Chain A
Amino acid sequence: MDERELKGLINQVKRGRLSRRDFVRQMVAVGLTAPVAAHLLAYSGVAMAQPASTYKPTKRGGGGPLKVLWWQGATLLNPHFATGTKDQDGSRIFYEPLASFDPDGNVIPILAAEVPSRQNGGLSADGKTVTWKLKQGVQWHDGKPFTADDVVFNWEYAKDPATAAITAGAYKDIKVEKVDQHTVRILFPAPQPFWAAAFVGGQGMIIPKHLFEQFTGAKSRDAPTNLKPVGTGPYKFKDFKPGDLVAGEINMNYHMPNRPYFDSIEMKGGGDAVSAARAVLQTGEYDFAWNMQVEDEVLLRLEQGGKGKVVINLSGSVEHIQLNNTDPWTEVDGERSSIKTKHPTLTDPDVREAMALLVDRDSVQKHIYGRTGVATSNYLNNPGRYASKNTKAEFNIEKAIAILDKAGWKPGSDGIRAKDGKKLKYVYQTSINQPRQKTQAIVKQACQKAGIDIEIKSVTASVYFSSDIANPDTYGKFYTDLQMYTTGPSAPDPGVWMQSFLSKEICQKENKWQSRNIYRWRNKEFDDLHAEAESELDPVKRAAMYIAMNDLVIKHRVVLPIVYRPGVSAASLKLQHITPSGWDSNFWELHNWYKDA
Chain B
Amino acid sequence: MSIATDAHDTASHDDGPVQTEHVGGEFDHAHKPDIYYVKIAIFLAVLTGMEVGLKYIDIGALFLPVLFILMAIKFVTVVLFFMHLRFDSKWFNMAFWVGLGLAVLIYSGALATFKFWSR
Partners in one complex: no
| Chain B contacts to A: CB under 8 angstroms | none
